[in-house]
Each structure stands twice: as structure tokens, then as C-alpha cells.
Chains A and B, each alone.
Chain A
């Protein structure tokens, strides 16, 4: 009977909902703390990156400058033809590398 009376107040219902939301958020935070510190998962990947000399993430495999953006030069998206339009969807997502060559392209591409 007391429990029913407690829920009759609007604020009690708000507290119940707030507790449920806070509980959900606390579970997410606990999961983040528990899993986020787990960097052992990276060890095997790092060993592979070292062993095979990998330089890029295998996120976009549709075009070479999207597969290896760190290795692609400024012109690679247009090598099918200097005036060709970029036609791969990831081309819209992968920004060209702007910081190298640091001094820009000189002498036919050599730095």
C-alpha cells in the first residue's frame, strides 16, 4: 500500500525513470571503463603491422588511394585521366593528404 502511495506522487515516478536512465548510462560507462582500458587486443594487430610493414587501415578497399591514403599521392584520384571526376563514394569521405610532400610538388613530383 505504501509503495502504491509513493508512486502516486509525480516526483516519485520521475525518480524511478531517472534511476532507470542513470542505471543504463552507468552500465555504459562501466562497460567503457572495463573494455576501454583493454589494449591487449591491439598487441596482435600491432605485431602484425610491424611484421608485415602495414601502413594503413583496411577500411575502404574500393580504390587504391582510399585503401592506402597514407601512401597515395595528390594525383592518384585523377590518374585515370587528369580531368576525370572522382567516382568512388569513399572519395567523398577520404580527404587528400595535405601535409606532404611538405614543400609541394617540384621537379616532376620529386621533393
Chain B
């Protein structure tokens, strides 16, 4: 064992000296490798963390949301429809939700105005009170006790005292949220007392969600029933799509790197060929040369992979992914400030490792093996 180790160590000595001799070229290659892993790693880590976050956060969303449809468009739900749904067996806690959007001209941002559920005593609001999300408080410089002024598109004014600013930890779902009382909401948007945006339902037995929404669809054929599983699938598809899109853009970078690695690997320089010839002439075996080159390729690729992944981890979980954020933000003025809880999908990281490390090492080793197994006399000429 010690003999084996001493041999490997000498090979490693030689490999590191050889890398150092061509340090400029190797450093550039290392930096490109690490940058590629950093970009792909950031996308993968961000994607898997936000998918998990969405799944955890939406676990307590309504079991079913029933949405009235008219001419393919979303229509207002009526109190009489809520009464019809109450007759569906298995449905529990059926309530009309009031929510809508407001474009705030003073901050150029879209807010989501909503009323809290009647079953949430800690969110209960009196007329003239509001609970605002972290983003709204940030943009409007609000804090508890201050007044929020909103103007509806029809020119109605809403003046509400801020009862609470929602904690920044919930920003991912509440950043643009303004919770007001139902009375204020109806007055602000000029809604009739029997109108709701849609209907939220809880189902007593979770395994009956499909059956209950099916029965609901029979009772209200002009409604669309969205189950929580649908919501979860939407987010799963949304983030997979986004991740795929970013990775598709990064494909160009992967191809460029593949060309670089192939170019470096397939065309051994005359100097490298002569070096291999001399090593063979002084008694190195083909296997020694391949081992030494394996050390070289391994040192560059494994260290670049580890550095790239570590930097990607820092970028996503310590710095809230500023590079990805600009892509996600689009034209939103109000983007939530949130720190993702670390979640690393080991399978995805392993896949990335296989996709980057193996082709590189293979591309480096194949021509070395060809040269090293040839006659030293022919190689050196």
C-alpha cells in the first residue's frame, strides 16, 4: 500500500509540475470549467430549492378553488352558487374569496388586494385597517400604525391604517399583498354584496378532493375547479420549464466548452508528444503516463467542479441568487426579497458532475492513450 501510495504521489508531483509549466493555459481552462459549473449549478440549485419551497408553502392552500367562467374568461362568483356548493357532500368550509389586482400609479407596481378568511382570527380586520406585505411596505415606506392610501381605477380612495406588516419570511407568497376588510374591498372595487372573485373549499377527507370537485362541477357546470394538486403541478411545471429554459440558454456555453476541451484534447502539441516520448524512452510505462495524465485532468476538472458548485451554493443560498433574479424579475417592480432554504438535489448534482467531468477526462485521455501506446522513437520525431 505504501509503495502504491508513494508511486501515486510521485506521479502527482510530476502532474502538478507539468500543470504549472503551462499555467496560463491551464488556469484559463480551469476558470472556464468552474464558471460553467457555477452557472449550471446555480440554475439547478435555485430550481430545486424554489420547487421545494413552493410545495411546502402551498401545502395549506385551499383544497379546491372554484372559478366561474364566462366566454372563456374568469367571471365573478355569486353567493347563490356558494349555497349550491354547500349541498355537495364532503365539502367543508366553503367561502367566497375576494381578491383582485390594483396597479398603483405612484409606485408603478401591481398589488394584490385581498380579504382574509373569516376563519383566520389573527388576520381579522376592521373597516379602515390593512395588513400589508413586505414589498408593499418597502415601496410605500409603511410601518405599523401608518396610513395606506390607495386610489381605485374608478377614482375611489381607500384610506387604511396599517395594522401589521407581514414578516419578510413570508415574502415569497405575500410580498405584494394588501389585506383589507371585506367592507373596504367591496366599496373600493364597487362590488355588489353577493359577488365574490372565486370560491375556496376545504374537503374533509383529502382522498375525496377529486370526487368532491367532480360533484361540484356537476352542480355548477359553468365553473372551473382547481384542486391543490393542480396548483402544485402548475408550479412544478412552471419551475421545470424555467429551469429548462435557462439550461437551454446555457447549452451554448456547454457546447463551447465541449469544443474547447475537444480541441485541447484531440490536438496534442508537439511539445506534449515529445514529453510523452521522452518519458517512455526513460522507462515510464504506458499505464504510468496515463495515470499521470489522469491526475492532471482530474486535478483540473474535479477542483473546478468543486469550486464552481461551492460558489453556486453561495450565490443561491447566501446571496439570494442576484444573477438569476434579474432574469426572473421581468418588468415586476415588486419582487419579493426572500432567502431560499437550502435544498440540494443530490441526483441533479451527480448528473451535472457526470455531464461535465466524464466527457472532459475522456477527451483528455483518449489521445494521450494513443500517443503513449505508440513507439517512443516515432513519437519523438
- A interface residues, Cβ below 8 angstroms from B: 9-11, 13-14, 17-18, 21-22, 24-25, 28, 31-32, 35-36, 38-39, 41-42, 44-62, 64, 66-71, 73-76, 79, 88-90, 92-95, 97-101, 105, 107-111
Contact = CB atoms under 8 A, between A and B. Distances in A.
B231 A70 contact: yes
B65 interface: yes
A41 B174 contact: no
A58 B65 contact: no
A98 B234 CA distance: 8
7 contacts: A9-B13, A10-B16, A51-B119, A54-B58, A58-B334, A61-B110, A100-B226
Contacts of B306: 21-22, 24-25
A38 B235 CA distance: 22
Interface stretch (B71-79, B144-152, B258-266): B71-79
Contact of A13 (B16, B176, B303, B342): B16
A28 B67 contact: no
A52 B123 contact: yes
Contact of A48 (B54, B174, B230): B174
Given A46-B59, A59-B328, A94-B238, A11 B12 contact: yes
A21 B58 contact: no
Given A14-B12, A51-B122, A60-B330, A21 B171 contact: no
A56 B198 CA distance: 14
A52 B15 CA distance: 62
Interface string B101-145: 100000001111010110110110000000001010000000000
B173 A36 contact: no
A61 B12 contact: no
Closest 5 CB pairs of A and B: A51-B120, A10-B16, A89-B330, A50-B60, A95-B241
B334 A71 contact: no
A14 B342 contact: no
Contact of B72 (A9, A11, A21, A105): A105
A11 B173 contact: no
Contact of A111 (B175, B221, B342): B221
B332 interface: yes
A89 to B, nearest CB: 4
Contacts of A51: 116-117, 119-120, 122-123
B176 A58 contact: yes
B336 A109 contact: no
**Most A CB within 10 A of own CB, among B177, B223, B225, B341:** B341
B87 interface: no
B336 A58 contact: yes
B317 A32 contact: yes
B172 A59 contact: yes
Nearest to A111: B217
Contact of B175 (A50, A58, A107): A58
A67 B176 contact: yes
Contacts of B226: 55, 70-71, 100
Given A53-B114, A107-B221, 4 more contacts: A52-B116, A57-B235, A58-B174, A64-B101
Interface string B213-244: 00001000111111000110111011001100
Contacts of A79: 73
A54 B330 CA distance: 22
Contacts of A36: 341-344
A54 B217 CA distance: 22
B295 to A, nearest CB: 9
B242 A93 contact: yes
A18 B331 CA distance: 43
Contact of B16 (A11, A32, A62, A74): A11
B332 A62 contact: yes
B172 A58 contact: yes
Contacts of B241: 93-95
A52 B59 CA distance: 13
Contacts of A70: 226, 230-231, 234-235
Given A11-B16, A55-B58, A50 B120 contact: yes
A105 B117 CA distance: 30
Given A28-B313, A44-B169, A45-B173, A53 B117 contact: yes
